[in-house]
A = this chain, B = another copy of it.
Amino acid sequence: MGRRPRATTTISDVARECGVSTMTVSRVINGNKSVSAEMASRVHAAIARLNYQPNEAARILRGQSSRTIGLLLPNLADTFFSQCAHAVQQRAAQNGYTTMIFACEGDRESEAEELTIMRSRNIAGIVLVPSNRKLVPQLRQMRSAGLPIVMVDRTISGLEAGQVLVENEEGAIMAVNHLIGHGHRHILCTGYDSEYDSVGKRIQGYRRAMEDAGLEPELLIVDRPEAVRPHLLARMHAPNAPTALFTLNNVTSIEALRSLQSEAFPVPDQVAIVGFDDFELAPLLAVPLTAVRQPASELGECATQMLLDSLSEGSHSSSKTVILPTRLIIRNSCGCISHGR
């Protein structure tokens, strides 16, 4: 018979307090118009008096939206993602939505589990930074069950969903052209995660810029962040070392700077660097980094807005793509202000 003492006040408490049925209270809560103004204010007063708060679990069980969005990303400790996450949470909250966070920490298996958990938690929609092709079947299934999905920063193919991306190729071209403008002919492109289309596009932009200038591309793609240092240093010590670096993300830029500094390669005088991904402390580094800035917050905001829109329209079929601009922030590591200090 499942009775147990309840600490919280329920809709029936409010109804009793007003001497009406629960239905009337429910109508007032949901802003249904067919309630007399006088009744409504009486109910509102009782709600306030009893400090009543509707139980979301019950509403969800009745088929209401959970007003909760699931945010799936690799790592909350990375600046870029945390800025993005913050924007998502804020925009969601402004619209009465709550954010459930799932950081899969590069663990390819756990990501699939996270999706299963999301489903059981009655998430209303998903914003994700995808990193695993294996998710596609499950995501498709969730989508056809009516869950809107928006991908941020990168994409997986085979899934129709909203996309909020950044001008990766254009940004890379700007970066590489800038180095070429400084007179560099031997520019090495280095980084990892090249299986992601975001990074892929950056490499493509690099290639394009090099070829357009009649230069020979050289790639140094490693498999993990920790591998940047040894491979890069080996390359720098080998014959015919590059005079400039295009680094594919913020971690690579930092690793490059750190390694070069530790072995006393002067930046930018011996090796210039332009990186993809700007970050707050870039101007304060020993060599202030010239970098392509991606609008992290706008990315999160835009994705959330897109999700909220399809949630309210009920038409998640409109899987739009938005591409946000990048821009080159010029500081010292490219050689522009080589002796500025």
Q: What residues on B are CB-neighbors of A53 within 8 Å?
A: 116, 119-120
CB distance from A51 to the nearest CB of B (A): 9
Q: What residues on B are CB-neighbors of A90 within 8 Å?
A: 103, 105
**A61-104 vs B: 1/0 string, CB under 8 Å?**
11100101000000111010011011001100100001111110
Copies in the complex: 2
- Asked if A42 is an interface residue, CB under 8 A from chain B, the answer is no
Q: State A82–B68 Cα separation when bound (angstroms).
A: 20
Q: How large is the interface on A (under 10, 10 to 19, 20 to 34, 35 or more residues)?
A: 35 or more
Which of these, B60, B77, B102, contacts A83 with CB under 8 Å?
Answer: B77
Q: What residues on B are CB-neighbors of A121 within 8 Å?
A: 56, 68, 98
Q: What residues on B are CB-neighbors of A131 within 8 Å?
A: none
- Asked if A39 is an interface residue, CB under 8 A from chain B, the answer is no
- Asked if A281 is an interface residue, CB under 8 A from chain B, the answer is yes
- Asked if A227 is an interface residue, CB under 8 A from chain B, the answer is no
Which of these, B7, B100, B281, contacts A254 with CB under 8 Å?
Answer: B281
Q: What residues on B are CB-neighbors of A258 within 8 Å?
A: 283-284
Q: State A121–B105 Cα separation when bound (angstroms).
A: 26
Docked-complex contact B85 and A55, CB < 8 angstroms: no
Query: Could you tell me the dominant secondary structure of chain A's interface residues?
Result: mixed
Docked-complex contact A60 and B62, CB < 8 angstroms: no
Docked-complex contact A77 and B68, CB < 8 angstroms: no
Contact status of A57 and B60, CB under 8 A, knowing A105-B90, A117-B98: yes
Docked-complex contact A76 and B68, CB < 8 angstroms: no
Contact status of A8 and B89, CB under 8 A, knowing A57-B122, A254-B284: no
Q: What residues on B are CB-neighbors of A283 within 8 Å?
A: 258
- Asked if A219 is an interface residue, CB under 8 A from chain B, the answer is no
- Asked if A314 is an interface residue, CB under 8 A from chain B, the answer is no
- Asked if A341 is an interface residue, CB under 8 A from chain B, the answer is yes
Q: What residues on B are CB-neighbors of A103 within 8 Å?
A: 86, 89-90, 93
- Asked if A1 is an interface residue, CB under 8 A from chain B, the answer is no
A-B contact pairs, 27 of them (CB 8 A): A2-B62, A4-B63, A7-B146, A8-B119, A8-B145, A53-B119, A55-B61, A55-B120, A56-B121, A56-B122, A57-B57, A57-B60, A57-B66, A68-B100, A75-B86, A76-B85, A76-B89, A77-B83, A77-B86, A77-B297, A93-B114, A101-B101, A258-B283, A281-B281, A281-B284, A285-B286, A286-B288
> Given A4-B63, A56-B122, A57-B122, list of 17 further CB < 8 A pairs?
A2-B62, A53-B120, A57-B66, A76-B76, A79-B79, A82-B82, A89-B101, A93-B110, A93-B114, A98-B100, A98-B117, A99-B100, A99-B101, A258-B283, A279-B281, A281-B284, A284-B286
